[in-house]
Chains A and B, each alone.
Chain A
Amino acid sequence: MIIFRDVSYTYPGAARPALRHVDFHLPEASFALVVGRSGAGKSTLLRCVNGLVPHFSGGTFAGRLAVAGLDPLYATPRAMSRRVGFVFQNPEAQFVLDRVEDEIAFALENAAMPRQEMRVRVEEVLDLLDLAALRERKLETLSGGERQRVAIAAALAFRPRVLVLDEPTSQLDPQSAEDVLNALVRLNHDLGLTILLAEHRLERVLQYADRVIALPDSPDGENGVLCGTTREVLPQLKLLPPLVALAKQLNWQPLPLTTKEGLHFSRALTEHILPVLPVAASPRYGAVGLALQRVWVCYDRQPVLRDVSLEVRRGEILVLMGRNGSGKTTLLKTLVGLVRPESGRVWVDGREVTGEDVATICRRAGYLPQEADTLLFADTVRQELEITLRNHGLPEHDEAIESLLAQLGLTAHAGRYPRDLSVGERQRAALGAITVTQPVALLLDEPTRGLDYTAKEALSALLRHWRDAGMAILVVTHDVEFAARTADRVVLISQGELIAEGVPAKVMGASPLFAPQIARLFPGRGWLTVEEALRGLGVV
């Protein structure tokens, strides 16, 4: 269905090729996962399939391609659009119209398809993606997952035989992401649609994929592109979900891809080990960094936070988890003054913040919003840091700036334009812009969105380093694996109320919703990460 023969490609003006000697063959009806670090060329590879590369992007292309019986190099993207549906990362940026049905019909209208035929096609995809109930709705009133399903429906309106998706779930919360992935599995199983999917969170999709295409870290590396069935390729990968990483360490064969398969091995291992409940080291935290006392927040007279009291001490990382719309982001915004509470008191660094403006509060508490890119606007990374200092009227010490850039791993990029950096680097630049005032507290909203395993690990290490330096850190995240590695304490929130609080092993280990893969594999042991499991099993 898709054949790449020795494909190399260089973007216009780029010094190095984005793809080098890519060579693989994908049979019909496969569900293929494209993996690799950010910047490894995943997006470029996907765009070759429908001819956006090189027709839309320009640049130099070498090699041969065949997709659904056409050669994207000679066929135009217009001709390819009939065979290949394409879904982008950000659902918002691909919509032309504002209603569900109209958006799906847009491409058909342009192709001058007879109306009768068009009605049938729209009905089909509405049913396939389970959107019939939403057909009249405006796109802006839909949730992220629903929007992404509309985008998929629009891509399928031409009845293509290949569906290509470029990180379609990276901007979504787990529940919405699950909806989208389930829809894809259904399309693949029921219709035999060939699916090519780029995705960072392998733990979620690995079980569905039957093929993996792994791109090397950099196109110049000796290793070429790996392509094969999931179990062939996985052992050769470096970035792996916890289950597979553990299985590889313990030499489980065949490699388990789901918790169910893994339990078979883990049961046998732990049969003879008595469960030892972990003794939580008594925390020795510092002074209170952030505090809320009996806070109520309302939007349009609807309470969003109900009677919330919470303390984050200096020297601890507190992770706040909960469903979409449960009030997590509101809680962060309340702390920095972007949202004013109806009643209750808020302290930052031991000082009550009532009446202080956002800028004054944020000097003591850095806040990284979900859309970290909106923070960046200067010409260089270094300037971003300097501008924040200038905004606050603080002196610009070169040494302090240099040391922060070094901590963030951005020394080499200090002179670059922030928006040209990779997702992880951009986020670190934004972190630099908010922490250059040396705040005592740090608030992060969904910091792992769109990050690959390496970038997540780097972020986790950075946060732990800052915690040890005495910062009070509050992280809102959906990413259970990240929370398991990073948190000192976990708080669950639901419908604006805090419902559970405690050490991660206690709060997350027992919850079916928030348990990381390792906790599911060894229930009741209190192990959350690969390292903990290996230590517990006495392997390390």
Chain B
Amino acid sequence: MIHPLAWLIWLAAELAVLSATRNPLYLASAIACTAIVLLRLRGRVVDAPTVPLSPLRFGLVVLPLAALFNALTVHMGRTVLLRLPTPLPLLGGPITLEALTFGALNGLALTGIYAAFIVLNYAVAVRALVGLIPRAFFPVAVVTSIALTFVPVTLRHWRQIRNAQAIRGHRIRGLHDWLPLFLPLLIGGLEHAFQLAEAMTARGFAGAAETVPMRRARTVIAAGLLTLLAGWVLWLAWQQRAIGIPLMALGGGMVVASLWWLGRQVPRTTYRPTHWYPRDTVIALASGTAAAAFLVAWPGWDRSSIFFYPYPALASPGFSGWIALALGGLLVPALLIPPTRYLSLFQSAWANRAILKRDASVQEGQAVTGSPSGIATVAMYPSEAAYPSTPTGEPR
């Protein structure tokens, strides 16, 4: 699997490109890249998420709408197609090909953005995104996970309640009639929350007490954020680059360092960590290059073709082979998504290897970890002797 962070970087690059240019050639290329990635993904996602509207349909609706809206409200441009009577407020005036084109290009960019989010939806489970929350905010991550588990349960509960109230002759005529539906949902939700709290306590989950150094670290985060903000304001509002940028760096450093330190204070391991493989680096670099080609004014880099503007008269858009090449970076995930069949073969081979390795180490008499209870070959429920019972626990 491609790392969720790599996907986020890809999405950011995609959004940057789509919002930086209105050149139809680049827009179309970016969208083509997205479409190919999406098609590659679609075949191999197991729990395919439900997509409210396919990007193609979205485009078919949004593109004409955006073109029409722009043409009706913006009356600039030389190529006049027809004239609406001027007494009409806002709409009146010449309808130009340029305005129509520009609107369509905006629609195209919107479609691309929509498609990019659909790709993310396919590629990364929400759960995996939650996994990206820094460990310092571990309680936040747990709460988010629980909320995600709550959603389908609540939806089912909602359907049950709607049916149950219909059975009792309940009809929805006005706002007031929603109360009998929300009240049981709320009560049910609270009951569920209580049961879950009990279950989590029974499984040894307890909120760790906050120590003084941890509270200090949180203060440092707040101070860091303030410093960051101050530096930014100095830079932007008063053009004090010399003070502003170091201040921002200092603030950022404070935040990152305290987050890192706080994360280390949370005693927690991950059962199935997401690994960052070389292919993730490739995706991140390729996406970064694509975004940089559109955003950064490198010396000697001809960016004029990026800024396509149809007004006052429509002209053919410029094209730079280098920029198009950089844009191809957005296609990289499609090349690196492993095909399903090979993927499963690879995974089972990998799993077998891990088991063989473990067995080998068992035979050699090495414990895999330093844990006293050892590994699978040791009796699962050690006898009383293994856990010396404390005499203080027994009632006398």
Contacts and interface: CB of A to CB of B under 8 A. Distances in A.
| Pairing of A with B | yes
A102 B271 contact: yes
B364 interface: no
B199 interface: yes
Contact of B206 (A76, A82, A105, A113): A76
B394 interface: yes
A367 B163 CA distance: 10
Contacts of A66: 393-395
Interface string B235-266: 00000000000000000000000000000000
Nearest to A141: B47
A112 B203 contact: no
A172 interface: no
A110 B184 contact: no
Contact of B381 (A98, A139, A192, A362): A192
Interface in A138-163: 138-140, 154-155, 158-159, 161
B216 interface: no
Q: Size band of the A side of the interface?
A: 35 or more
B77 to A, nearest CB: 51
B186 to A, nearest CB: 9
Contacts of A52: 198, 201-202
A96 B146 contact: yes
Interface residues of B, number: 67
B278 interface: no
B352 interface: no
Contacts of B375: 117, 120
A170 B26 CA distance: 61
A107 interface: yes
B395 A64 contact: yes
B393 A96 contact: no
Contacts of A111: 204
A90 interface: yes
Contacts of B43: none
Contacts of B270: 109, 115
Nearest to A371: B160
Contacts of A359: 166-171
Nearest to B271: A105
Contact of B376 (A3, A55, A113, A124): A124
B168 A388 contact: yes
Interface string A86-128: 1010101111111101100111111111111111101110001
A363 B205 contact: no
Contact of A437 (B164, B169, B268, B368): B169
Given A66-B394, A377-B187, A371 B164 contact: yes
A369 B164 contact: yes
B267 interface: yes
B47 A138 contact: yes
Contacts of B202: 50, 52, 77, 81, 84, 86, 88, 155
Nearest to A111: B204
A225 to B, nearest CB: 16
Which 10 residue pairs spanning A and B have beta carbons closest together? A69-B389, A81-B204, A64-B395, A105-B271, A94-B199, A391-B169, A93-B195, A112-B267, A86-B202, A374-B164
18 contacts: A3-B394, A52-B198, A66-B394, A69-B393, A70-B389, A71-B392, A98-B149, A109-B269, A114-B269, A115-B269, A122-B271, A338-B163, A369-B167, A375-B164, A375-B165, A419-B187, A433-B168, A437-B169
